[in-house]
Structure 1
Amino acid sequence: MSTSGAREPGWVQDAIWWHVYPLGFVGAERSATPGQAVTHRLDRLVGWLDHAVELGASGLALGPVFAAETHGYDTTDHLRVDPRLGDDADLDALIAACRARGLRVLLDGVFNHVGRGHPAFRAVLEQGPSAPTAGWFRLRWPGGPEAWRPGTEPQYDDFEGHSSLVALNHDAPAVADLVVEVMCHWLDRGVDGWRLDAAYAVPTSFWAGVADRVRARHPAAYLMGEVIHGDYAGFVAEAHVDAVTQYELWKAVWSALNDANFFELDAALTRHGGFLDGFVPYTFLGNHDVTRIASRLTDDRHLAHALVVLLTAGGTPSVYAGDEHAFRGVKEDRAGGDDAVRPPFPASPAELSPLGLPTYSLHQELIGLRRRHRWLHTARTRTLHLANEQLVYEVRAEDERVDGGRLVVALSVGEQPVEVPVPGAGGLLVGAADLAGDRVRLPAHGWAVLEG
């Protein structure tokens, strides 16, 4: 018997996230300054919430909003809103505005590491091995702790070679207590869940203990971990989280479309189905860490194909703000290399270029399709036809008793019109195709979603 979605809260079945990186979105300064005055910028997001609702989203997934030194992932205070964004009242108002529109709120929790300016690490630099928070970090003192003198800085573990990101010691009970306190503090304030940043870098036993304690107080909280490679299902089971980021499917979508190699996407969808036996992955085409999908694809005509896969496959989908208007941006491996995918947004959606409206309308159409077929959240795919340039798959409800619980998706990246089999398909729901019996004719670079 399948157990997909067994752990996650019931409301997640209808979750479609609109993901925002707040510091970039509101045009905040690149770096915070000591004693910086509060600038009330979070309210700019309130003016975009109706845009998210009209898109079809049911939740706002926020990037870092807590006090930090630069990009938000170098946290200095998990219990205070970054003054470049505003203050507690601004975040409360944003949460209330989301509630008024029926939008859930997901926060980004950075619990693998902190910024060097975090008070707990500053105490270590000032007081040495005797600092009350020395056990929070994985430290190595030159000559040993007994040789410490004021001004002597320890070596410490960091996050992937970034010395500005000081890794926490997840064996320390005080660190677990901190994370539980922070998560519950903001859940008490009205948020619905957490994205756990760099979750893959933290022992699953730590997450399991934290998750169990948090759920004891907030059983309806959604906990999703950032995991890039590895054993997704094993991580979810061992960490007691609801989901992880589905990077495998993300990569397969754009890679298969660029290479005209649907065998890669077919393999990824097969693995995706296996994941769904245990949990519902968090699916996406873009986020704050990767090149935008409109820039990643080598053919603009295939943006629709990518979106069709995202919104017909099982999962909890997320749309990165701007992707719904075909924003472009290339991530580069250099200082400031994320800026292009984290741009400031205009004051209101009315100021967006009309060039993105067709992409926005397509998002609305496909999200609408998904919301009318709620069973797609845990749906499984099965390949009906596979070639380098064509893929036809059916999507079935996990529960076979669901009325209308089958769709057929046909995709082609070929330069010529093509006829492909669509056994059992009914009328055309979205796309462009000519249906004749159990076959459908697609135009060049065409796609279609058909009734089952």
Structure 2
Amino acid sequence: MLTSIFACSDTNVISNKNISNKNANKQGDNQISIHTNEHETSDSLNQGKPVVYQLFTRLYGNKNTANVPWGTIDENGVGKFNDITVTALASIKALGTSHVWYTGVPHHAVINDYTEFGISNDDPDVVKGRAGSPYAVKDYYNVNPDLAEDPNQRLEEFEALISRTHEAGMKVIIDIVPNHVARRYESLSMPEGHSNFGENDDTTVTYARDNNFYYVVDEPFQVPTSPDYKPLGGEQHALLDGKFEEFPAKWTGNGARAPKPDINDWYETVKINYGVKPDGSYDFPTLPAEYANLSYQQHAAFWADKSLPNSWYKFRDIAHYWLDKGVDGFRYDMAEMVPVEFWSFLNSSIKQKRPDAFLLAEVYQPSKYRDYLHSGKMDYLYDKVGFYDTLKAIMQGRGKVSDLVSVHDDVADIASHMLHFLENHDEQRIASPDFTGDAEKGKPALAVSALISSAPTLLYFGQDVGEDGSEETGFGDPTRTTIFDYAGVPAHQRFMNNGKFDAGQSTEEEKVLHSFYKDVMNIAATHSAINGRYKSLHALNLSEKDSAYSEQQFAFVREENDQGFIVIANFSDNASGPISLIVPASAIKASGNNLSLKPLLSHKGITLEQEGANYRAIMTLDALETKVFAF
């Protein structure tokens, strides 16, 4: 989650207690399973790995190209649920997609006036951008009114989109943001018998177990200030006065405890209390270490007779509400800022209801990965700090493939649970000058990240056509496509072609890039060997003296039941060769003098010739070329 003007780091976060996981199960890379449910048909199931398409709902269908900095919804336009048509979904499915992550769906704080629909106005002093942060949720039981043709029917319009997505053979993921909510949370749509966050809090104390928030007792909240930032770009607004009424002040979402947060704090949000005391100790039962090896059913049984903080039940009810609406899973924002025990409680309750639910967590601390997977019962975590960061350095010409092999080996026991991505809403666009400046440099990285592991691969909308995130739209700096303002996304809009989703206005370069993405992602989504055995060929080929193979190339194998594929990717801007590709016979379970390999991308096949215990082929690679051979 990126919610500050600059990249945020938090020094005041309540820390989670680490749970010993020495006896955690070692789950190999070939043990992932693809579940089915009532929404799937037999022809919709991927034979390979899950592919998640992140669709930023506010931006995706927007046809307006004005891109006025700090532009209003009327000036810059907005995408709607209804813009995500059957045709749009077919184009998403064509990328091998199994799950669509609709980002920005829960009703968050916005600037638009929806008072005629019974929705209170939000104060620009505590809203980031013109359109608001999707991670400052105001009402968990409804959806963003900006996204509906008729705000009175906004929930029904989203339910119709869920149905369309299922009919297109894909599942639906939405965000749950457990660590924080909007500064003024106010659910109008919660079911009978529920209460708003903070409604029953004792505000005379900093902390109580069943309070939903933490308080700065007897101190009013003060809006943060900065000479470099003006809400709405300095425009006049009836509510924009440098003040926001909140007494007593609540702790800010990133854990900052001052009544006046810093401008780089997540000041538009307030932190949720899960029964973690201000000193970091726990006010709830800890999960015994042996539960890292136990099933979700046993986790659910452990919590069944426990008295737990009120916030735990609130988020359980929210998750179950959306499951009942047809949502198939969740992406959990900043999951590492919430205790592992809560995740055990929540996720085991979800799995009891929907065993096939897709549960993805944003976690950036490698030391906590196994806790959140085994004890927290997550399905998948971001592989950012290891795989993405290392791959980014290679793409920028400052890293070594050997380092990528090493960080992948570091998570070998959990590799099938470590989701790979090259872009998402928090990260720079590949084509941004601050990343590589060239979408072509993402091609070998895509092949490697998508095909090295059976874990899901995430694609961000516009990534497949080289969107560069260069628009100056308001809050924050370009290089990342805005998540705070109304905007059109040019390369995606050219592909969208006024709703035809046929690349009708795309450049030739964008069309070629999109075709490459389709080819690679369909290998990942359909080839059964993606779930088989992985073996790096890098060290062996790097040791070959009479070969141009270097730290800018990466070769590896995936094999299952004596068939599979070999990938060799060139990260160099220059053609490379001659390369002597060496493949151990044991890696492909082959015997005989020669072995013909068929191409899976737009290149020629090769013949491997046996030399003792290895096979060898001589080849060249064009600049940034990837070859994938089937055996």
Matching residue of 1:275: 414
Unmatched segments (≥5 aa) in structure 1:
34-38, 145-149
2 CA distance for matches of 1:435 and 1:165? 57
Q: Runs (4+) of structure 1 moved beyond 6 Å? A: 28-33, 130-134
Unmatched segments (≥5 aa) in structure 2:
1-25, 37-45, 110-131, 149-153, 187-195, 221-244, 256-264, 276-307, 543-548, 584-594, 610-615
TM-score between both structures, scaled by the size of structure 1: 0.85
Write the deviation string for residues 49-81 of structure 1: whole angstroms up to 9, x where unpaired. 121022221221111201111121100111101
Matching residue of 1:324: 464
2 CA distance for matches of 1:55 and 1:427? 22
Of 203-212 and 417-426, the range deviating more from structure 2: 417-426
Contact 2:54 2:101 in 1 (8 A): yes
* Displacement after TM superposition at 1:390 (Å): 3.4
2 CA distance for matches of 1:203 and 1:306? 34
* Displacement after TM superposition at 1:3 (Å): 4.6
**Residues 1:79 and 1:152: Cα distance change in structure 2 (over 3 Å):** closer
Matching residue of 2:9: none
* Displacement after TM superposition at 1:239 (Å): 1.1
Are residues 1:53 and 2:93 paired?
A: yes
TM-score between both structures, scaled by the size of structure 2: 0.62
Candidates 471, 488, 510, aligned match of 1:344: 488
**Residues 1:372 and 1:82: Cα distance change in structure 2 (over 3 Å):** closer
Matching residue of 1:176: 312
**Residues 1:143 and 1:72: Cα distance change in structure 2 (over 3 Å):** closer
Are residues 1:202 and 2:338 paired?
A: yes
Are residues 1:430 and 2:601 paired?
A: yes
Contact 1:75 1:114 in 2 (8 A): yes
Contact 2:106 2:140 in 1 (8 A): yes
**Amino acid in the other structure paired with 2:84:** L
* Displacement after TM superposition at 1:312 (Å): 1.0
Of 290-299 and 341-350, the range deviating more from structure 2: 341-350
Aligned to 1:17, the other structure's residue is in SS state: strand
Are residues 1:167 and 2:303 paired?
A: no
Matching residue of 2:520: 366
* Displacement after TM superposition at 1:432 (Å): 4.0
- State, as a whole percentage, how many aligned pairs show the same letter: 19
Aligned to 2:513, the other structure's residue is in SS state: helix
Are residues 1:287 and 2:424 paired?
A: yes
* Displacement after TM superposition at 1:179 (Å): 1.0
**Amino acid in the other structure paired with 1:18:** Y
Candidates 140, 143, 147, aligned match of 1:78: 140
- Which protein has the bigger helix share? 1
Aligned to 1:84, the other structure's residue is in SS state: helix
**Amino acid in the other structure paired with 1:448:** K
2 CA distance for matches of 1:300 and 1:186? 36
| Paired residue total | 436
**Once superposed, what is the RMSD of the aligned Cα atoms?**
3.5
1 CA distance for matches of 2:364 and 2:577? 36
Candidates 166, 180, 188, aligned match of 1:99: 166
Aligned to 1:158, the other structure's residue is in SS state: coil
Write the deviation string for residues 359-414 of structure 1: whole angstroms up to 9, x where unpaired. 110011112222331331465242342365433432234xx5x2413424343516
Of 357-366 and 47-56, the range deviating more from structure 2: 47-56
**Residues 1:234 and 1:252: Cα distance change in structure 2 (over 3 Å):** same
Are residues 1:382 and 2:536 paired?
A: yes
* Displacement after TM superposition at 1:48 (Å): 1.6
Correspondence 1:13-412 to 2 at 5 A? 14-27=49-62, 41-46=80-85, 47-69=87-109, 70-86=132-148, 87-119=154-186, 120=196, 123=199, 128-129=203-204, 135-142=211-218, 152-159=247-254, 161-171=265-275, 173-231=309-367, 232-247=369-384, 248-259=386-397, 261-276=400-415, 279-295=416-432, 296-314=435-453, 315-329=455-469, 335-337=475-477, 340-342=480-482, 343-345=487-489, 346=493, 347-348=498-499, 349-350=501-502, 352-355=505-508, 356-377=510-531, 379-384=533-538, 385-386=541-542, 388-397=550-559, 400=560, 402-412=561-571
Higher RCO, 1 vs 2 (CA within 8 Å, ≥6 residues apart): 2
* Displacement after TM superposition at 1:303 (Å): 2.1
**Residues 1:412 and 1:326: Cα distance change in structure 2 (over 3 Å):** closer
Candidates 595, 613, 618, aligned match of 1:440: 618
Greater Rg over alpha carbons, structure:
2
Matching residue of 2:35: 10
